[in-house]
Amino acid sequence: MDIKKYLDSTYLKTNSQAGLSESDNEAVAHGFIQEAIDEGFKLIMIRPDRVALAKKMITEAHSGVLVGTVIGFHEGTASINEKLKEAQESIQNGVDELDYVCNYEAFKAGNVDLVKEEILKGTQLGIDNGKVVKWIIEVAALNDSQIAELTSLIKNVVLENFKAEVYNSVFVKSSTGFYKTENNLPNGATVPSIKIMLENAGPLPVKAAGGVRTYKEALEMVELGVQRIGTSGAKAIANGEETSSGY
């Protein structure tokens, strides 16, 4: 299996998170983009302020690598208008895919109408501009029942408001990879959480993000039914090695 076609190579650390100066962190991001081009990964997932750089590098290399970015990252609590503005700016900079962080805290608090509205408006913006949209639900912040309910909510909003031909362009995604868990519990995709998502997302596709660190684990996710895998250790996974990456 060519696992590379499933891999969204990811670099999302801010300067402070990386413990680097702005120029040094820019160099790391540049290296991730170049690696995605050289290795032929499906996509490079980068922060919004680096979308234009990634698009420029990929275009100049005559590469088919897609550019993805994160919206409302990583807490997901930004307002709907703030998320839409960030998404629109990324579209103008040439992004191919928009990974919104769902306001899972609002969902947990019972504010389902807000969540439905942002899913509808965020998805509409992406679809109207020919973009793939993914909704990150942050499985580590949810219990099993909540994972099922939020996945189903996203699915139902999409099925009720969009035509079947776009269903494959709207994913439910497991994690940001930046959620802080207690007692060293997993903060990304796990087999149990992905199974719940797959049971409740169809016909929408699922992306497993965070926690996939070996080729074997990536293969297991694909065999379960995921269509994308987000990882900052894409090259190691593709080479059959274990990544030491935290995401």
From the list 127, 68, 69, 73, the residue with the least C-alpha distance to 104 is 73
pLDDT confidence band for 240 (50 / 70 / 90): confident
* Phi/psi of residue 242, nearest 5 degrees: -95, 130
> Has residue 246 been placed in a domain?
no
> Has residue 244 been placed in a domain?
no
- Domain span holding position 94: 3-238
> Has residue 245 been placed in a domain?
no
From the list 73, 146, 60, 153, the residue with the least C-alpha distance to 112 is 153
> Has residue 130 been placed in a domain?
yes
> Has residue 35 been placed in a domain?
yes
pLDDT tens column, 102-123: 999 999 999 999 999 999 999 9
> Has residue 86 been placed in a domain?
yes
* Strand partners for 43: 8, 66
DSSP-assigned states of every residue in 74-127: TT--S-HHHHHHHHHHHHHTT-SEEEEE--HHHHHTT-HHHHHHHHHHHHHHHH
pLDDT tens column, 12-22: 999 998 999 99
Q: For 122-151, what is the mean pLDDT? A: 98
Q: For 65-82, what is the mean pLDDT? A: 97
Which letter does DSSP use for residue 247 in this model? -
What CATH number does residue 96 fall under? 3.20.20.70
CA distance 174 to 102: 11
Q: For 214-238, what is the mean pLDDT? A: 96
Mean pLDDT computed over every residue of the chain: 95
Query: Could you give the number of structural domains in the chain?
Result: 1
CA distance 123 to 126: 5
Cβ neighbours of residue 6 under 8 Å, at least 6 residues apart?
42, 218, 222, 226, 227, 228, 229
**3-class secondary-structure state, position 133:** strand
pTM for the model stands at: 0.96
DSSP-assigned states of every residue in 17-75: HHT--HHHHHHHHHHHHHHHHHHT-SEEEE-GGGHHHHHHHHHHTT---EEEEEESTTT
pLDDT tens column, 22-54: 999 999 999 999 999 999 999 999 999 999 999
Sign of CA dihedral 12, 14, 17, 21: positive
> Has residue 247 been placed in a domain?
no
pLDDT tens column, 143-161: 999 999 999 999 999 999 9
pLDDT tens column, 172-214: 999 998 888 887 787 889 999 999 999 999 999 999 999 899 9
> Has residue 37 been placed in a domain?
yes
Sign of CA dihedral 96, 101, 103, 107: positive
Residues that are catalytic:
99, 173, 207
